[in-house]
Structure 1
Amino acid sequence: MTVKRSLFSVLSMLFLTGCAAGAVFSAAVPSTAAPLPGTAETAGTPQPAGTAEAAATPAPTADAVQPPQGLVETGAAVLDYDEIRLIDYFREYQPYPDTDYYTMCRDGKWGLMRSDGTEVLPCRASEPLFECSWNAHHWHGYLDDLFGSPDYEAAYKAASQMLTESGDGRLCAEHDGGGYRQFVCLQDDKTYLYSGSMGPGQFNALTDDILRLFSGSANGLVPARDSAILQEGEGWVELDSSDQYVYRSKNGTTANDFNYTAADCFFDAPLAAAQREGKWVYLDTAGHEVTAPCYDGIYQPNHYTDEPLVFTRAAPLLSGYAVVTRDGKFGLLDSTGAELVPCEYDGLVWDGGTAWVKLDDGWHEHTIPGVTKPDPLADLPDSIVAPDTYPARTDAVFFMADADSTNRLNLRAGPGREYDILGKISSSSLRVYGYSSAAPGWALVRYDPLYDLPQFGWVSTAYLISAE
C-alpha cells in the first residue's frame, strides 16, 4: 500500500489488562512493568473501580442510573441531548485535542456546543460536526444536506456570521489541505518520522525532541509501520507501507508481540490506545497492555456505514483520564487502566477538567476533585516571554500569516523587534495563546510547520489577517 495520506490520516498506539463485558477489573500489569500511578501513595484521591472500596459500593439499581462514583456534580443546568461526542481531531498534529467544543445530537441531528454546555449551532446536521486539520474552529458538515440547493448560500452566510459574532469560528465547505505525520520502520531496522502533504514526503531521524513530543520521553515508544522505499527524489521519498502498527523504540526494537490496526502516540500521557481484534486496548509507556482489547470507538464516525454511526477512534487520556465505551455503555478510565467510572452510563464526555454524564433526566456536569484542565502554556520555554493577557474564552484564536514564500514572518522570543528571532514563518494558520498589555500589536502564537515540530513565539499582528 503506497503511503499517500490525506487530511484525515491519524497516528495511534499502546498496551493490556482486564476488562470484560459486565465487569470491571483493576489493571493487571506484567511483573516487568514499572510501577503505575494510582497506588497507595494516592490514598487521598478518588479510588478507581475494581479496588476494595469500589467493590463495596452497591451496584446501580435497574430503576434509576446512579450518579457516577468518584465524580462531583457542579450544579450546572442539565442538558437534554441524546448524544454528546468528542470533536474529530488530528492526533499527529494535536497532542491535546481541542476540547473547547463537542458535537451533540438530538432526534438524529447534530450540532455544536462549547464544553461548558453553551449551544453554538442547533442540532440540524445529518452527521457529527468536525474541524479542519490546521484551520481549527472551521466547522464542516453542518449544511451538507443543503449543498447545491438555492437555500445553501444564504444559510451558509447566516450560520458563519453567527459563529463569527460569537467568536466560535465559522463554517467551512472547502477542503483546507493539511498533511500527515507518521512513523515508519525501514530495512535498516531504525524508526523514522515520515511527514508530507497528499503525496510523497520527507524523512526525519528520531531526535530527542521528536521523541519527547510524541512519546513523552527521549527513549520512548512510537507506533510505526514497516515500510520500504518505492522511489525518491530531491527532498522527497515515496514509501510502500504495511497497514499494521508496531510500537518501536528509536533503534527499531519492538515493545511487545502485537500488531495493531490503528495506534495512538503517547505524547505526555502515561497510556495510549491501540486497536487489535476489532477492539481498543490501552498500553503503558513500557509497551504493556493494561486493559484487554474490549473497548469501542468514541469519536470519528465511519461515514461509509449505515446508521447508527460506527465511531472508529478511542479517546486519549486527558489529565490522566479517558472516556471508554463497551457494550453500548460509557465510563472513565484512569491512568492505571482501571475504570474510575464503570461503563454503566448511556453517555459520557471529558475535556480534561469537567465531565458531562448522561443520567435518567439528561446530561449532568461533573468534576474530579483536584483535577483541572491543563494550561496549554504550562511548557512554554523560559526563553520565551509569557503573555499577561489571554483570549476571552478559548485558548486558541486563529489567524493566517499574510506572507508568501519570499516574505516570511519573524517569530520572536518576545513582543517586540528588540527580541531575538527564533524562526521565520511561511503562510500558515497560527494558534494565538496570548498578548502583552505592554506591547500592543503583538501576539504569542504556536506555529505548526508541516515538516518540523511545533514552536511558540511572538509575531506582529500587523502582518496577520483573520483566518475567516
Structure 2
Amino acid sequence: MTVKRSLFSVLSMLFLTGCAAGAVSSAAVPSTAAPLPGTAETAGTPQPAGTAEAAATPAPTADAVQPPQGLVETGAAVLDYDEIRLIDYFREYQPYPDTDYYTMCRDGKWGLMRSDGTEVLPCRASEPLFECSWNAHHWHGYLDDLFGSPDYEAAYKAASQTLTESGDGRLCAEHDGGGYRQFVCLQDDKTYLYSGSMGPGQFITLTDDILRLFSGSTNGLVPAQSGTTTHESDEWYNFVGDGLYVYRCRNSGAANNFVYTAADCFFDAPLAAAQREGKWVYLDTAGHEVTAPCYDGIYRPNHYTDEPLVFARAAPLLSGYAVVSRNGKFGLLDNTGVELVPCVYDGLVWDGGTAWVRLGDGWHEYSIPGVTKPDPLDDLPESIVAPDTRPTRTDIVFFSVDTAGERLNVRTGPGLEYDILEKLSDSAQVRLYGALSTAPGWALVKYGHKFGWVSQDFLVLGR
C-alpha cells in the first residue's frame, strides 16, 4: 500500500451502556426528533442549569471579588493572561486527556503553560498551541509564522532547548496527524471500528476490550457514521462517511432518536458531548440527553475562520466535571448535567483537580472540596513492581528512548532478574512515573497504556 501523507482529524466515536430497541438510520432521522423520556427536554422533568429553560433565563453578573460558588481558592498567584484554553488532544492514540498543560493568550499571541500556572513557552504564536496526535508532548503551531524564514531554525532550536531543559517535550515540525479511528455502521447491521494510518483502513469487529476503552463498558455505545465503502485491497477499504453520528450498540441498535454533526466518546466518563443544531449537548451512558443543545465549543480552533477564533469542540468530563460555555461566558458542569458553576465567568479551565477562573483582576486558581486529580498509578497492574518515589513535577516528566539502533527491554521490575514485557525501539516515547530507592538506575515508565521498568541509561529527556 502506498503511504499517503495527509492530515486526518481523529473522530471520537463511542457506545453507551443500554440501547433502545431497533437500529435507526442516521440519514433518515431528523435532528428535530422528539427527545427520549427522561431527558432534560421532556415536559415535566426538572430542568438542570444547562438546559434550554436555564439558557433562556438571563445569567447573573459574575462578582469579580467573590469566588465561584462551590469552589475554594487555593492561594496560588493570580495569572494575567487574556485567555487560557484546553490543549487540543486525541485520546485514541494517547492517554486522554493530557491535563498537564494549557495554551494561554496575551495581546493576541499564544503560548504554553503547565496546569499549575507555570509558563513553559511565552506567548508568541498566532493561534492556540496543540499537541501532535501521534506523539504526546510534541507541540504544534508555536513558530508557524516564522516557517520558511531565515530566523526559523534559530528560533526552533531555542524553543526546543527550553522544552528539553524543563522536561516539557519538544516542538513538532513534522506532520499534524497521521492516523484515524472512527466507528462506522455497515449494512450487515453491525458496528465496526474503522482504523488506519494515512491511507485506506480496516474494519475491525468490536471486541470487549475496544468497547471498554472507548465506552467504559462491554455493552457500551459509540457514535458511528454511515457512509460508502470502496474495497482497496485485501482487507483494506476506503470509507467516506456521511458526516452524521448516531450513538449505537455493538449490533448497531440506536441509543436515541437524534443524529449529531459531531460526537465524542465516553471512555470512562458518565457523560459525553455531542453536537446538534449547531450547539453542544451532554448525554449519559443510557443515551439520554441530560442538557439541552445550548453550549459552545471551547477548544480546537477552526483554522479556516477569521478572527475571532471559533472553537470546534466541547470539553470532556474530568473527575466528574466539564467546562462549558454559553453566550461567551464559562461555567462548570457536573456529571448529572447541572451547572455547579453557572456560565457567568469570562474564562474557566479545569484539569480534573483545580480550576482557573478569570475574574476582574486576572485568573484565580480554585479547587472543589473532596475532588482531586486521579493518581496516575491507580491502574498500575499488580504484576508490575510499584515505585517508592515519584517525579517531583506534578506533570509527568517526558522521555525518549536512545538505544543506538538496539531495542530497549521493558521489565516487570527494576533489575535484570525481572521478566521482559516488551522491547522498545529508538523512536519510542515514554513518560517517567517513578523509581525505587533500592534499585538506582531504573525507572518506571508508561508507554502507550502500559507500564514497565527500563534502565535509565537509555532514556533521553525531551528528545
TM-score band (shorter)?
0.7 to 0.9
Question: Which residue matches 1:413?
Answer: 412
1:171-320 alignment runs, 5 A limit: 171-175=171-175, 178-234=178-234, 236-320=236-320
1:46-445 alignment runs, 5 A limit: 60=60, 64=64, 66-94=66-94, 96-175=96-175, 178-234=178-234, 236-402=236-402, 408-425=407-424, 427-445=427-445
- Aligned-partner residue type, residue 302 of structure 2: N
Instruction: Give, in angstroms, the shift of residue 390 of structure 1.
Output: 2.4
Instruction: Give, in angstroms, the shift of residue 282 of structure 1.
Output: 0.4
- Cα distance in 1, alignment partners of residues 428 and 169 from structure 2: 17
- Cα distance in 2, alignment partners of residues 238 and 129 from structure 1: 31
Kept in 2, the 8 Å contact 1:49–1:338? The answer is yes
Kept in 2, the 8 Å contact 1:112–1:122? The answer is yes
- Aligned-partner residue type, residue 11 of structure 1: S
- Aligned-partner residue type, residue 265 of structure 1: C
After superposition, the Cα gap between the structure-2 partners of 1:4 and 1:293, relative to the gap in structure 1 and judged at 3 Å, is: farther
- Cα distance in 1, alignment partners of residues 5 and 255 from structure 2: 27
- Aligned-partner residue type, residue 213 of structure 2: L
After superposition, the Cα gap between the structure-2 partners of 1:177 and 1:279, relative to the gap in structure 1 and judged at 3 Å, is: closer
Kept in 2, the 8 Å contact 1:181–1:194? The answer is yes
Instruction: Give, in angstroms, the shift of residue 250 of structure 1.
Output: 1.5
- The answer to whether 1:459 aligns with 2:458 is no
Larger mean Cα displacement after TM superposition, 272-281 or 232-241: 232-241
- Aligned-partner residue type, residue 456 of structure 1: F
Identical columns (%): 79
- The answer to whether 1:6 aligns with 2:1 is no
Larger mean Cα displacement after TM superposition, 309-318 or 383-392: 383-392
- Cα distance in 2, alignment partners of residues 333 and 63 from structure 1: 19
- Aligned-partner residue type, residue 319 of structure 1: S
Point out where structure 2 has 5 or more consecutive residues left out of the alignment: 17-34, 41-45
- Cα distance in 2, alignment partners of residues 294 and 65 from structure 1: 28
SS in 2 for 1:289: coil
- Aligned-partner residue type, residue 69 of structure 2: Q
May I ask how many residue pairs the two structures share in their alignment?
430
After superposition, the Cα gap between the structure-2 partners of 1:236 and 1:456, relative to the gap in structure 1 and judged at 3 Å, is: farther
SS in 1 for 2:226: strand
Instruction: Give, in angstroms, the shift of residue 400 of structure 1.
Output: 3.5
SS in 2 for 1:240: strand
Which TM-score applies when normalising by structure 1? 0.83
- Aligned-partner residue type, residue 252 of structure 2: G
Q: Deviations over 1:297-320 (max 9, x none)?
A: 010000110000000010000000
After superposition, the Cα gap between the structure-2 partners of 1:61 and 1:207, relative to the gap in structure 1 and judged at 3 Å, is: closer
- Aligned-partner residue type, residue 414 of structure 2: P
- Aligned-partner residue type, residue 91 of structure 1: R
- Cα distance in 1, alignment partners of residues 240 and 60 from structure 2: 51
- Cα distance in 2, alignment partners of residues 464 and 166 from structure 1: 15
- Aligned-partner residue type, residue 446 of structure 1: K
Instruction: Give, in angstroms, the shift of residue 414 of structure 1.
Output: 2.4
SS in 1 for 2:174: coil
After superposition, the Cα gap between the structure-2 partners of 1:360 and 1:204, relative to the gap in structure 1 and judged at 3 Å, is: same
- Cα distance in 2, alignment partners of residues 290 and 62 from structure 1: 25
Kept in 1, the 8 Å contact 2:167–2:398? The answer is no
After superposition, the Cα gap between the structure-2 partners of 1:371 and 1:242, relative to the gap in structure 1 and judged at 3 Å, is: same
State the Cα RMSD in Å. 3.0
Kept in 2, the 8 Å contact 1:134–1:429? The answer is no
After superposition, the Cα gap between the structure-2 partners of 1:108 and 1:429, relative to the gap in structure 1 and judged at 3 Å, is: same
- Cα distance in 2, alignment partners of residues 62 and 435 from structure 1: 46
